[in-house]
């Protein structure tokens, strides 16, 4: 197992698309080759070429150009990153007589350390706002769309700057300055982006907590970061459901107080969903945003930050354990998010960019806020949910604003597939030119739907693999440079050197096809610098397992073209009778059955096989789950992956799978259910819907 006759790569071959005539004379490896060979090669790998119209205008428009740039980024990083850094403003240029970066990745040689752009001084807010407010004050910065279809607002660059400055002035007036922590617990209103930028402007370190987290989850983050100020709102609407935001903050602050952490000030935006008068109010700590912020002067000086000054901390989503406070710094993060935004989304001045991620996740930090704003993109910010008032809301928004680049997560794609193609086909999506995916492996079936039904076969798809820790895209297609393969994140971004390591020996696999643990060699600009307040955990988590490498925690396969296929988290690999099976592969096979909407697979102990496969499935709307259906699902896996991967148990989940707030399946809970260890399920408070667990338990043995 492990060669491409099995698994996602194998299955993806079933998906053929017409090759673009302009490109089919080059093989995916770039070497000029005989036309017939290229055809054979392409067919084998189910490659999907970007249309010529896209390629002709792309920043990187051939594999050769990508290869040349990639080589330079790795061999001459100072030259490569220098050119990109020079597209941005530095108050004090970094010292080009020194190496552009220095790092130690080897725990045996001393503490892990990373630094970029030595001696430079800059400011993210200045680059993301002031430059554009000066050059194009009336131009559109944010296109805000509220929960209701009639709620919207355009924020120009000049307005964005004024609002950021007002908050910066307020924060300074209450004693917040460089290096101080600020927690942001806001729904997706312009205030959220403004809050992040205001912190960056004055050098305060923001910690955005997704405003769907419980008081407990918020409290643990408050206790860890000890902010002086919390920025929040009275409430929000999530679809038809009112959410009392401030109530959660009040409870979180109370809990953190019990642990000795005193928040001095809570600034509350009076959200129309819940009038301020209906909130508990404590004059000694609470302040009304419109009283204290909107009355401030509309200009405010910029704090010039060293390249390695902290910018923000952000807690990982907690799929695998207690969340880690990932710390990012100024210069490298700025250059990394800008470079990836420009090249991966092939940014053009006329683009309308929509990233559906909440700013509470790294995706929202890097590609809702910083990356696009630095690049002066027009950005959609959406407060509501994709299924309200109906399942066509996303497509209505694309239509309304003329969205050209749409970036979302496989979980959203799969959930929308359930509602059928008509919902999409009834909307005008003609402005779309590029689609993106992030957060989980995207199974080829969902990729195909995204490509055909949403993208009408004319939009390349960038399947971007990266992490909170990496700050920016790491392995991803460049949309105009080379072909995509459904289910593969493809090739490394500039400056990123991924490698596969044998988990038994800790040694790198030789170049060429293979499967192993995904590690990264050498530092890239936007990588995390430490776990806030716990450098030891940083070293233990990412650098101790395979000394000399950054350990990602994910497994991957590399195919004969050098494309990477993320197989899931290393902890999730199941070993059945000596066959190592990636959970993602069995899940992809299950959802290829046209009645299966979603699947999650875990292993459990088995006397004979070592481990056996336990599959949790969600069926499409209105599909009945019968014994016959179970058989069909097992057959589907047998025929696609192989008999050895056939699930021993199939468990129907009528109300869905347990997912984190960011939409990721919480496999640790499913493992407990599969092992009949219900008592060990543990904390379910960070689940989007904890009730799902009870339904799953009720349906055991269905």
- State the catalytic residues: 571
Strands 434-438 and 405-408 turn out to be parallel
> Min. distance of Cβ 474 from ligand ATP in angstroms?
9
Does 559 bind ligand ATP (CB under 6 A)? Our answer is: no
| First vs last C-alpha separation in the chain | 32
> Which of helix, strand or coil describes residue 158?
helix
Q: Which is nearer to ligand ATP, 190 or 460 (CB)?
A: 460
Name the one range near ligand ATP by CB under 6 A: 69-77, 111-119, 317-325, 610-618.
317-325
- Lay out the sheet containing 514-521: strands in order across: 497-501, 514-521, 550-558, 564-569
Q: Which is nearer to ligand ATP, 246 or 661 (CB)?
A: 661
Q: How far is CA 2 from CA 293, 557, 611, 646, in A?
A: 58, 8, 18, 16
Name the one range near ligand ATP by CB under 6 A: 237-245, 462-470, 502-510, 596-604.
462-470
Q: By CB under 6 A, what part of segment 414-443 binds ligand ATP? A: 438-441
Residue in 64, 55, 59, 72 with CA at minimum distance from that of residue 494 = 72
> Min. distance of Cβ 514 from ligand ATP in angstroms?
18
Distance CA(612)–CA(577), nearest Å, equals 9
Q: How far is CA 250 from CA 19, 285, 304, 484, in A?
A: 57, 10, 34, 48
DSSP 8-state secondary structure symbol assigned to residue 302? P
Q: By CB under 6 A, what part of segment 353-372 binds ligand ATP? A: 361-362
Helix axes 77-85, 330-344, angle to 10 degrees: 80
Distance CA(615)–CA(650), nearest Å, equals 5
> Min. distance of Cβ 569 from ligand ATP in angstroms?
5
Distance CA(195)–CA(170), nearest Å, equals 11
Q: By CB under 6 A, what part of segment 488-517 binds ligand ATP? A: 489
Four-residue CA torsion sign, 389, 390, 391, 393: negative
> Min. distance of Cβ 313 from ligand ATP in angstroms?
13
Can you point out the beta strands (E) in 321-399? 325-329, 352-355, 378-382
Q: Which is nearer to ligand ATP, 26 or 464 (CB)?
A: 464
> Min. distance of Cβ 472 from ligand ATP in angstroms?
12
> Min. distance of Cβ 670 from ligand ATP in angstroms?
15
Pick the binder of ligand ATP from 145, 286, 463, 587 (CB under 6 A): 463
Name the one range near ligand ATP by CB under 6 A: 88-96, 316-324, 523-531, 600-608.
316-324
Rg (CA), the chain: 25
Residue in 648, 656, 563, 661 with CA at minimum distance from that of residue 611 = 648
> Min. distance of Cβ 314 from ligand ATP in angstroms?
9
Q: Which is nearer to ligand ATP, 234 or 662 (CB)?
A: 662
Does 587 bind ligand ATP (CB under 6 A)? Our answer is: no
Q: Which is nearer to ligand ATP, 112 or 158 (CB)?
A: 112
294 neighbors 642 (Cβ within 8 angstroms): no
Q: Which is nearer to ligand ATP, 495 or 568 (CB)?
A: 568
Name the one range near ligand ATP by CB under 6 A: 8-16, 174-182, 461-469, 631-639.
461-469
Does 569 bind ligand ATP (CB under 6 A)? Our answer is: yes
Q: How far is CA 431 from the centre of its chain?
A: 24
Q: By CB under 6 A, what part of segment 515-554 binds ligand ATP? A: 552-554
Interaction site with ligand ATP (CB under 6 A): 316-320, 323, 361-362, 438-441, 463-465, 467-468, 489, 552-554, 566, 569, 664
């Amino acid at each position: 197992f492990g060669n491409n006759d099995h698994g996602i790569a194998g299955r993806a071959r079933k998906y053929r698309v017409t090759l673009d005539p302009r490109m089919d004379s080059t093989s995916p490896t770039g070497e000029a080759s005989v036309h017939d060979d290229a055809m054979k090669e392409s067919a084998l790998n189910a490659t999907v070429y970007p249309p010529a119209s896209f390629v002709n205008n792309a920043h990187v428009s051939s594999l050769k150009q990508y290869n040349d740039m990639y080589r330079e980024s790795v061999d001459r990083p100072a030259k490569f990153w220098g050119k990109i850094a020079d597209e941005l403003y530095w108050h004090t240029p970094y010292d080009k007589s020194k190496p552009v970066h220095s790092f130690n990745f080897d725990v045996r040689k001393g503490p892990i350390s990373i630094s970029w752009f030595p001696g430079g001084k800059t400011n993210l807010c200045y680059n993301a706002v002031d430059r554009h407010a000066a050059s194009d004050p009336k131009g559109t910065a944010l296109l805000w769309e509220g929960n209701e279809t009639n709620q919207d607002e355009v924020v120009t660059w000049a307005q964005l700057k004024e609002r950021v400055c007002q908050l910066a002035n307020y924060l300074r007036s209450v004693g917040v300055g460089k290096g101080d922590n600020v927690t942001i617990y806001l729904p997706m209103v312009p205030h959220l982006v403004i809050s992040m930028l205001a912190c960056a402007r004055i050098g305060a370190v923001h910690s955005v907590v997704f405003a769907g987290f419980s008081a407990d989850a918020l409290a643990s983050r408050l206790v860890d970061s000890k902010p002086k100020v919390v920025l929040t709102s009275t409430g929000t609407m999530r679809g038809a459901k009112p959410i009392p935001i401030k109530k959660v903050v009040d409870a979180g602050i109370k809990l953190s107080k019990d642990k000795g952490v005193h928040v001095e000030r809570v600034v509350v935006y009076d959200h129309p969903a819940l009038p301020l008068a209906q909130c508990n109010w404590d004059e000694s700590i609470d302040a009304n945003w419109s009283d204290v912020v909107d009355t401030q002067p509309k200009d405010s000086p910029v704090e010039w930050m060293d390249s390695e000054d902290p910018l923000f901390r952000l807690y990982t989503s907690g799929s695998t354990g207690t969340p880690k406070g990932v710390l990012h710094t100024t210069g490298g993060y700025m250059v990394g998010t800008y470079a990836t935004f420009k090249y991966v989304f092939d940014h053009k001045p006329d683009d309308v960019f929509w990233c559906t991620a909440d700013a509470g996740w790294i995706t929202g930090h890097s590609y809702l806020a910083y990356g696009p704003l630095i690049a002066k993109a027009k950005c959609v910010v959406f407060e509501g949910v994709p299924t309200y008032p109906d399942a066509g809301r996303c497509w209505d928004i694309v239509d309304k604003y003329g969205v050209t680049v749409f970036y979302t997560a496989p979980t959203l794609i799969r959930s929308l597939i359930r509602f059928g193609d008509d919902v999409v086909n009834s909307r005008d999506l003609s402005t779309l030119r590029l689609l993106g995916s992030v957060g989980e492996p995207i199974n080829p079936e969902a990729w195909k739907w995204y490509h055909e039904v949403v993208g009408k076969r004319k939009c390349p798809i960038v399947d971007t693999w990266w992490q909170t820790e990496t700050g920016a895209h790491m392995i991803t297609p460049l949309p105009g440079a080379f072909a995509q393969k459904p289910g593969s994140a493809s090739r490394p971004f500039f400056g990123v050197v991924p490698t596969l390591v044998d988990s038994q020996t800790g040694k790198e696999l030789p170049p060429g096809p293979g499967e192993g643990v995904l590690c990264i060699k050498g530092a890239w600009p936007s990588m995390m610098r430490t776990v806030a307040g716990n450098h030891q955990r940083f070293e233990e988590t990412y650098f101790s397992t395979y000394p000399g490498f950054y350990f990602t925690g994910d497994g991957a396969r590399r195919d004969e073209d050098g494309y990477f296929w993320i197989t899931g988290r290393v902890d999730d690999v199941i070993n059945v009778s000596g066959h190592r099976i990636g959970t993602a592969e069995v899940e992809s096979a299950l959802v290829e059955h046209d009645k299966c909407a979603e699947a999650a697979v875990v292993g459990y102990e088995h006397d004979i096989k070592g481990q056996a496969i336990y599959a949790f499935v969600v069926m499409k709307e209105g599909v009945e789950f019968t014994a016959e259906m179970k058989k069909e699902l097992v057959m589907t896996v047998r025929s696609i992956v192989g008999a050895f991967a056939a699930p021993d148990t199939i468990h129907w989940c009528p109300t869905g799978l347990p997912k984190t707030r960011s939409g990721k399946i919480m496999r640790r809970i499913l493992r407990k259910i599969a092992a009949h260890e219900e008592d060990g399920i543990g904390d379910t408070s960070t689940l989007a819907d904890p009730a799902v667990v009870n339904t799953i338990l009720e349906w055991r043995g269905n």
